[in-house]
Amino acid sequence: MLAGANPTDIPAAAAAIAAATWTSLHLLEPSRSRRSIPAMVRLALLFLYQSVVAGVDVARRALDPRLPLRPGFVFYPTGLSRGMQRNVFTTLTSLLPGTVPTGEESGQLVYHCLDVEQPVVAELAAEEAALVRALYND
């Protein structure tokens, strides 16, 4: 899309989509969990709400020198297993302004945040619970 659309590219794009779909279906384990559409909608709305609130907060802190920044690291003890579940969670939380997952230490996820005095761990717990309800209900 960045280079412009050309109808002659459609066969190559279709082949790439088919190959990616086939690879995904054959390499990933089948999942027995059921996806909850209402829970996924709630997760999307929670994500949107938190993105707006956190984005406004980050902008305020960046533009108003009177507002304090207390950057640092917080540790989050996730209940998600290593692998895909943690990857989905850290990907989701990396999109929220003000916090960035930076790694793992002693089984806990490490997040860098702009203000360590904010309820970051409680917010991460709410995100994790919403994600589990939306994607990993068995």
**41 sits in which H/E element:** helix 37-63
Strand ranges in the chain using DSSP code E only, listed in sequence order: 72-76, 99-105, 108-113
Which sequence spans correspond to the domains of the chain?
A: 9-135
Q: What pLDDT shows up at residue 31?
A: 62
Asked whether the predicted pLDDT for residue 41 surpasses 60, the reply is yes
Q: What percentage of the chain reaches a pLDDT higher than 90?
A: 21
Closest by Cα among 75, 84, 78, 76 to 136: 84
44-102 pLDDT, tens per residue? 888 888 788 878 888 887 888 887 788 999 999 999 988 888 988 998 888 777 889 99
Asked if residue 76 lies in contact with residue 107, where contact means CB atoms within 8 angstroms, the answer is no
| Count of other CB atoms within 10 angstroms of residue 47 | 17
Which two three-digit tokens encode residue 36? 């909850």
